[in-house]
Structure 1
Amino acid sequence: MTFNFKKMAAGAALGAMLLGGAMVASNAQDAKHTIVTVVKLSGIAWFNRMEEGVKQYAADTGQNASQVGPASADAALQVQMIEDLIAKKVDAITVVPNSPEALEPVLAKALGQGIKVVGHEASSLKNVTYDVEAFDNAAYGEHLMEALAKAMGGEGEYAVFVGNLSAKTHNEWVDAAIAYQKAKYPKMKLVADKIESTEQQQVAYQKTKELLRTYPNLKGIQGSAGEDVVGAALAVEEAGLTGKVSIVGTSLVSVAGPYLESGEINMISFWDPAKAGIAMNKVAAMAIEGKEVTDGMDLGVEGYNKVRLTGKVIYGQAWVDVTKDNMGEYKF
């Protein structure tokens, strides 16, 4: 970290103050912190949008904020990236883990070397300074299931996708959704275990084709990764099942828009990854400067204006629902 020392009076007074340790003056607001965001996967729309937020934060604050991510959704590659950042002695790491459990040891190492760590989509992480969540994950999963149930008329067979079986947030959404379905919509039936897309549209497409062959009465699909609903929609469109298989899940308009418009996708929900990126970096800078996040605090980011603090986890209220009727309002 670089400190900009204020000009002091010359001569003996300055020497006495410095030698006595009475004052090491710095302007924390002007300090340039090095904060690096490590995402699950580079090159997909979701994390491209998050990088826009990270760059905006850097431009607005003058902080040295940047984003990196592996070429595939691989926790081992994230571990290596974090090891490299530790070696570079960055001030803070913000991270969206592919597997929170796999990252715990390297994040503990970062904390041990005085690096602040802020997680996202990983409320179970122990070795963090804070974790920033866009909302309560169980409530979000129930919300998606309610939308799917209404689209399906409250009955019939359905399937669920997660980006990775180790993705903590995706599993929290889906687990809550399934529990909600069982309690509220007993005429609906989950046909298979959670299906892993590895965050790839092509994988979701191929696995949906298999689902449609195996379960010809399938009426619904819930996606978790941003590409899941699009891969599923393509398979449904090709099978001539538009309007017969309902699809809801997390995505962005830039990814899912054509299929919202044509009717293969009923609804997407999301939080703006750019705003999440800004929120994570703001929290990281606060931690570097010794400031605490408090319950009810306004982080100055839309969706994070009155956060709820539970232990180390910071919850916002940041999700939005998009259908073909309002998709024009969200051009990203």
Structure 2
Amino acid sequence: MKKKTVLLAAGLVLASSAAYAASWTGGDDLPTSPLACDGTPGTVAAKPYDGGVPTNPPDRNGKKITVVDIPKLIGIGYFNATSKGIADAAKELGNVDAKTDGPTKANIDEQITFIDNYVTSGVDGILFAANDPVAIAPVLKKALAAGINVVGYDANSTPDARQWFVNQAEFNGIGKTMIDSLAKEIGEDGSFAIVTSTFTTPNQARWIAEMSAYAEKCHPNLKWLETVEAQEDNVLSFNQATTLINKYGDQLKGIVGMTSVATPASAEAVTQAGQCGKVAVVGLATPNAMKPYVEKDCVKSVVLWNPVDLGYAAAYVLRAAADGTLKPGDTSVKAGKLGELQVVNGSEILLGAPFVFDKANIGQFDF
């Protein structure tokens, strides 16, 4: 199934499952592969390497390298956690000098400027989480052309603009987990809206597209009301969620947060509106940000992976690429304490399956 847009009709109310294909979801136009409704694992077809290749890189095998991590933005809990994972891996490896730098807002132009400056000043490796997969590609290709090793994580670029991408979970796995959790809380015929960062943010667009396909297949009576952008901004996310609550009233049964900022902000909006127990909040967020809402039973479930592990894995993948021990055509890579991680989709490294945090387990995690 492919997402089709209708005059940017973000506010289109869906009256039946047939309306799914005509709604603006904030997803992308790529083909989807919804998982089985009964939880049968999906299969990943073998695919040739489709990543980029650095031009005449120096011999870095075993030598100390300087790496810069440039995420979507700095200063939020999620990317603080990935940065910690990168720093942990660098310390463990002993031959990687890594630092995190980047914009304080999720702005692709600013992110490009940061990357370009480091390409000019000279580094051995660049780690990134893209704000826009296409817009970021030219500067990443510039880095490859300069012989720099380039590895993405969290949010991909076009494949030829980097060597490898560390994917936190398969997109269809995230889509299934999010929609199953939502349907469990609001019922099979409940109405919901989404708060995302931007319609072009690659990982969120892919998750939303897969959510739409899986919902149509396995929960066809769910009603998708609207998708709104909040720019990974806490105040804007809160305001967008509040607007949805006021706009739809009793019709709104759930809000889905697609970012680690949007989900707790939506939970706060529901709390302040006195809608706990009436409007469910399901989404992607760090456990620390969601503990207050989970402990008060305003939020039942939070979907994520361990972002510390994601950053840790990305650093190990970059080190392996720099050493030449991870090459096109390989099927796995060693990632320290995480063991062997599998190569999927040609040039992606898969961290693992998504995890659901709830009241029974969220206290066991601290990030």
* TM-score, normalisation: structure 2: 0.79
DSSP 3-state at the match of 1:37: strand
The 3 A distance-change label for structure 1 pair 28 and 297 is closer
Partner of 1:57: 89
Verify the 8 A CA contact 1:275 1:301 in the aligned structure 2: no
Give the match for residue 343 of structure 2.
Answer: 308
Query: Given residue 75 of structure 1, which amino acid in structure 2 is its aligned partner?
Result: I
- Mapped pair 1:210 → 2:243: yes
Which of the two has higher C-alpha Rg?
Answer: 1
Partners of 1:34 and 1:327 in 2: how far apart? 36
Name the Cα RMSD after superposition: 1.7
Q: 1:39 matched to which residue of 2?
A: 71
Q: Secondary structure at the match of 1:164?
A: coil
Give 2:72's aligned amino acid: K
- Aligned residue number for residue 360 of structure 2: 325
Kept in 2: contact 1:123–1:169 (CA 8 A): no
Q: The residue matched to 2:253 in structure 1 has which SS?
A: strand
For the pair 1:146 / 2:146, whether they are aligned, the reply is: no
Deviation of 1:306 after TM superposition, in Å, equals 3.6
CA contact (8 A) 1:229 1:265 kept: no
- Which whole-Å CA distance do the structure 1 matches of 2:257 and 2:211 have between them? 11
Q: Provide the C-alpha distance between the structure 2 equivalents of 1:101 and 1:297, rounded to a whole number of angstroms.
A: 27
How far does residue 311 in structure 1 lie from its aligned partner after superposition? 1.3
Q: Pick from 109, 131, 149: which aligns with 1:76?
A: 109
* Equivalent pair of 2:137/2:158 in contact (CA under 8 Å): no
The 5-angstrom pairing of residues 78-93 of structure 1 reads 78-93=111-126
Q: How does 1:10-29 map to 2 (within 5 A)?
A: 28-29=61-62
Count of aligned positions: 304
Q: CA 1:87–1:99 in 2, change beyond 3 Å: closer, same or farther?
A: same
Matches within 5 A, 1:77-116: 77-116=110-149
1:257 correspondence with 2:291: yes
CA distance in 2 between partners of 1:27 and 1:52 (Å): 24
1:244-301 Cα offsets, whole Å, 9 max, x none, are 1111111011111101111222211112221111111111111111222521444234
Which deviations, in whole Å up to 9, do the C-alpha atoms of 1:172-206 show, x marking residues without a partner?
111111222222222211111x2112112221110
Distance in 2, Cα, partners of 1:301 & 1:84: 33
- Report sequence identity in percent: 28
How far apart, in 1, do the equivalents of 2:182 and 2:356 lie? Answer: 13
Equivalent AA in structure 1 for residue 308 of structure 2: A
The partner residue of 1:168 within 192, 202, 208 is 202
When normalised by structure 1's length, the TM-score is: 0.87
